[in-house]
Amino acid sequence: MKRKLFILMVIALFAMQIVPSFGQEGGIPQTLVMPEQIAEGRPVTITVSDKPSPDREGELSLWQDQVNRFQEMYPNVTIEGLELEYEPTAFVALIAGDQLPTLFRSYFTEPEKFISQNAVADLTPLYEASGVADAFNPSVLEIATQDGAVYAIPENAYALGLAYNIELLAEAGYDAPPTTWDELVEIAQAVTDKDNGVAGFAFINDGSAATGWHFTNIAYSFGASPDDIITVNDDGSFTAEFGEGATVDALNFIHDLRWEYDVLPGATLDWGSITEALVSGRVAMAIYAGDQFGFMLNSFPDADISNFGYAPMPAGPNGISALTGGNLWMIDADASEDEREAAFYFQLWRQLDPAEYESAVITQSEQGRTIGQPVLPMYVGEHQEGREAFEADYNVLPVENYALFNDAVKAGDITLYPEPATAVQDYYAEVGVLVSEVLSNERTDPETRLGEVAEEFQIFVLDR
Amino acid sequence: MASNTSYHDNELLMRPRAVPLQRIWSFLSRQIVAYLFLLPAILIFGLVAWYPIARAFEMSFQQVSLTGESTDVGTANYDLMELDPAREIILENMLEFASWSVALGYALPVILAILIREMRHAKSFFRIVYFLPTVVPISIAVIVWRFIYDPDAGALNELLSFLGLPDQLWLYDPKLAKPSLVVVMTWASFGTTTLIYLSSLMEIPTELYEAAELDGASPLQRIRHVTLPHLFPIMSLLFVLQVISVVQVFTEPFLLTNGGPGRETLTPVLHIYRRAFERIDLGYASAWSVVLVVILLAFSLVYYLVNYRIRKIYSD
């Protein structure tokens, strides 16, 4: 299934290059036809996650205005915002306590877990009624699909790349980021200055699932495919294959980065602190998701964001490979038909209505927030073209610094891989711990330990 | 109340053939008010403590579904524990944490309590100073400790470099991670323990010290022969409580090291948490919980027996 997904993804990206950009002239086409009435006019109340907290004033007013406009269009619908953001463990308790919000945001890795617990609604009838499925990048919509039924509304997608500090690299005599892992080692060694707390290269290394996430991208570029990590068998069962092959090579490489080349930071870095390490000049190059530049801009307003570039991941034996991921929205299985309809259209309207999209882009741009992130196209055809053309005038981020990445995506130079087939967060969590073990203990043998972890994962996760 | 009881007892004795139901009713009617007073506490405890305990025991024999029916799987969850590669490491970590905690934190409150008691002035000031860390919420304290332990700009490494010593990776070095966490745990809890020892010390009649002084006992001898024997029962109890709480430690490794580096600070409860809430494998996590309870019960029992013998020898 995932091999199919990968092929679809490549096709979709190429298709976008081939589709002529005639949509740009006429702006963003209206892809979504909103219904006359929602729930046939019956009163309906839905709860929606990710309402911005009061300290994020600009975002909150944007959110509230949008809600008000929707409620004016459909006076029978009441939208209650919840300042609740997705967190895998917290949401387990919400499922058990029957307290999921009607509409909530989650990661690309998560639908399978919710579907297996019968916790989310099948949105296929709504997709069919609205006819919007064609607007989505099919490879992205595939992530929300299981056994032919669609369970989520994808919102954004990214591919991992390499963020780098232009100035630090220039000081060491390099005017371009590395294109291979060997070059990365060379530049990282030149830039590393342990006495002044500067590490040449970093990835998330706190031993959490995010560490496993970054490790998996390195494994991809060392030749592993999602199927080589967790294989989908013909009978629908799964086999953990990550105990051998390219994943072992990748872990050996990490072992060398730490114990032979010594170019990694001493401190542990998580999703947030890796940005802090970049902007404070403590890390020169880091594995980074394109949507983290928005976080960089919002969280470190004093940082000189123009000093950071974004390039494709260095090429390994498998060429340039990048792991993709993103966010999507799901609807509680306990929601009534009326609530499902209201939640579904509210989310689609926020994402696809041209007027909503344009006003959101303008407001965000005025507030200096996150337009121009190097992320993956979510839609296809005229809709995507129209969006890109519109956004170009409102870029807040230094998009010219991301040209290496964006051009490589557009030229199809990057092999985009989805995340492994099943139980992804569990797999990330396990290899995350192992990477931390390799980083802290020189005597850890990557091959033996990876084999043990794969065996445990097979027995405790895949076979259960 | 006492006369009432004896009246009822007498009445019962006079009618030995009373049917069991009547006896139960009579017993209940005597105690009913007391039980009514207990009822709210029983209900709350039942709901938030005893029911979850019983349910965890039941779940340890099930494959648990969060939304549907759970299925019985017999002892499958316990059998799986045999195959868990983390098992040995967790048990080792458990012992090491307990040893570090006893080594670093067991004697400290006793010494402090004795010192405070010996003070002529500012006794209450020091009582408050040592108790202060206890009132800081652990999540806040952890943030402060993260700054202290930070390898790049942390206070502790600043201090080391001021002294001309090399920097240390406090939380990321496999050798230092456990003691570093135990220091945080000790810091957060020794205030309460000190107060308990102090209140026990206050009970010692001053005459005993005066008598010892008259007999020419030095301060150390006074501690050895008066203070410590008096503290022994409470020290013994707190030893068990400390070991039980350290074995169940969760917050510090969860927030400071996430069980790392590698699995160096992976504790039983952190493992249970991960299996339950990350893998949604509540049955297996419950099996671990039950085993943990059994281990702690066994420890408490062995300790009780050993202690009982020691005391017997001591009193003989």
**pLDDT of A319-371, one tens digit each?**
899 998 889 999 999 999 999 999 999 999 999 999 999 988 888 888 777 78
Q: Answer yes or no: do B152 and A197 touch at CB < 8 A.
A: yes
Residue A76 resides in a domain:
yes
Q: Which of residues 138-167 of A touch B (CB under 8 A)?
A: none
Residue B224 resides in a domain:
yes
pLDDT value at residue A169: 97
pLDDT value at residue A432: 94
The arithmetic mean of pLDDT across residues A33-48, rounded, is 94
> Could you tell me if B71 lies within 8 Å of chain A, comparing CB atoms?
no
B116 and B18 in one domain?
no
B275 and B190 in one domain?
yes
Quick one: which of A232, A291, A287 has its CA closest to A257? A287
Residue A299 resides in a domain:
yes
A184 and A241 in one domain?
yes
The percentage of residues in chain A with a pLDDT greater than 90, rounded to a whole number, is 57
Q: List, for residues B177-219, the tens digit of each pLDDT value.
A: 999 999 999 998 888 898 899 889 888 888 888 898 888 888 8
A172 and A267 in one domain?
yes
B96 and B179 in one domain?
yes
The size of the A-B interface in CB pairs under 8 A is: 100
A442 and A297 in one domain?
yes
A351 and A279 in one domain?
no
Domain that holds residue A252: 159-324+415-462
The arithmetic mean of pLDDT across residues A291-320, rounded, is 91
The Cα of B250 is separated from the nearest Cα of chain A by a number of Å equal to 15
B236 and B293 in one domain?
yes
Q: Answer yes or no: do A440 and B174 touch at CB < 8 A.
A: yes
- In terms of Cβ atoms closer than 10 Å to its own Cβ (0-12, 13-18, 19+), residue A2 is buried
Residue of B nearest to A208 (CA): B258
A14 and A120 in one domain?
yes
Q: Interface pTM (ipTM) of the complex? A: 0.72
Residue B65 resides in a domain:
no
A267 and A240 in one domain?
yes
Residue A295 resides in a domain:
yes
Chain B residue numbers touching A117 (CB-CB < 8 A): 65-67, 280
Q: List, for residues A234-293, the tens digit of each pLDDT value.
A: 887 899 999 999 999 999 999 999 999 999 998 889 999 999 999 999 999 999 999 899
Quick one: which of A256, A232, A247 has its CA closest to A112? A232
For residue B21, the one-letter residue type is L
Q: Answer yes or no: do A441 and B152 touch at CB < 8 A.
A: no
Q: List, for residues B9-37, the tens digit of each pLDDT value.
A: 444 444 555 567 888 888 777 888 888 88
What is the torsion angle, in degrees rounded to the nearest 10, for the CA atoms of residue A433, residue A436, residue A437 and residue A443?
Answer: 150
Average predicted confidence (pLDDT) for chain B: 86
B44 and B124 in one domain?
no
B133 and B13 in one domain?
no
The percentage of residues in chain A with a pLDDT greater than 70, rounded to a whole number, is 94
> Could you tell me if A207 lies within 8 Å of chain B, comparing CB atoms?
yes
Out of A281-285, A409-413, B120-124, which region has the weakest mean confidence (pLDDT)? B120-124
Q: How many domains does chain A have?
A: 2
Domain that holds residue B289: 84-315
Chain B residue numbers touching A210 (CB-CB < 8 A): none
The Cα of B218 is separated from the nearest Cα of chain A by a number of Å equal to 50
Residue A408 resides in a domain:
no
B90 and B9 in one domain?
no
Residue B70 resides in a domain:
no
Q: What six digits make up the tokens of B248?
A: 């169940």
B103 and B47 in one domain?
no
Query: Distance between CA atoms of A371 and A391, rounded to whole angstroms?
Result: 7
- Which CATH number covers residue A28? 3.40.190.10
Residue B76 resides in a domain:
no
The arithmetic mean of pLDDT across residues A173-191, rounded, is 96
Q: List, for residues A185-242, the tens digit of each pLDDT value.
A: 999 999 999 888 899 999 999 888 999 999 999 999 999 988 899 998 888 789 999 9
pLDDT band at A413 (very low <50, low <70, confident <90, very high): confident
pLDDT value at residue B314: 64
Q: List, for residues A431-444, the tens digit of each pLDDT value.
A: 999 999 999 889 99
- Which CATH number covers residue B91? 1.10.3720.10
B174 and B47 in one domain?
no
Residue B188 resides in a domain:
yes
A171 and A235 in one domain?
yes
pLDDT for residue B240 is more than 70: yes
A256 and A168 in one domain?
yes
Q: Which of residues 176-235 of B touch A (CB under 8 A)?
A: none
A189 and A257 in one domain?
yes
Q: List, for residues A60-102, the tens digit of each pLDDT value.
A: 998 999 999 999 999 999 999 999 999 888 888 898 888 999 9
Chain B residue numbers touching A107 (CB-CB < 8 A): none
B104 and B10 in one domain?
no
Residue of B nearest to A92 (CA): B277
Q: Are A132 and A32 in contact (CB under 8 A)?
A: yes
A423 and A282 in one domain?
yes
B262 and B175 in one domain?
yes
Q: Answer yes or no: do A95 and B172 touch at CB < 8 A.
A: no
Domain boundary among the residues A376, A402, A428 is at A402
Residue of B64, B65, B66, B264 to mutate for A, most A C-beta atoms under 10 A: B66
Q: Answer yes or no: do A267 and B68 touch at CB < 8 A.
A: no
pLDDT value at residue A433: 92
A182 and A98 in one domain?
no
Q: Which of A405-414, B165-174, B279-288 has the highest mean pLDDT?
A: B279-288
Residue B21 resides in a domain:
yes
Closest by Cβ to A92, choosing from B86, B266, B277: B277
Q: Answer yes or no: do A444 and B284 touch at CB < 8 A.
A: no
Residue B185 resides in a domain:
yes
The Cα of B295 is separated from the nearest Cα of chain A by a number of Å equal to 23
- Angle at Cα B83 formed by Cα B77 and Cα B86, nearest 5°? 100
The arithmetic mean of pLDDT across residues A45-63, rounded, is 92
B93 and B20 in one domain?
no
Residue A233 resides in a domain:
yes
Residue B172 resides in a domain:
yes
Average predicted confidence (pLDDT) for chain A: 88
Residue A165 resides in a domain:
yes
Closest by Cβ to B278, choosing from A266, A426, A439: A426
Q: Are A298 and A223 in contact (CB under 8 A)?
A: no
Q: How many domains does chain B have?
A: 2
A94 and A43 in one domain?
yes
Q: Answer yes or no: do A208 and B63 touch at CB < 8 A.
A: no
Query: Distance between CA atoms of A437 and B86, rounded to whole angstroms?
Result: 13
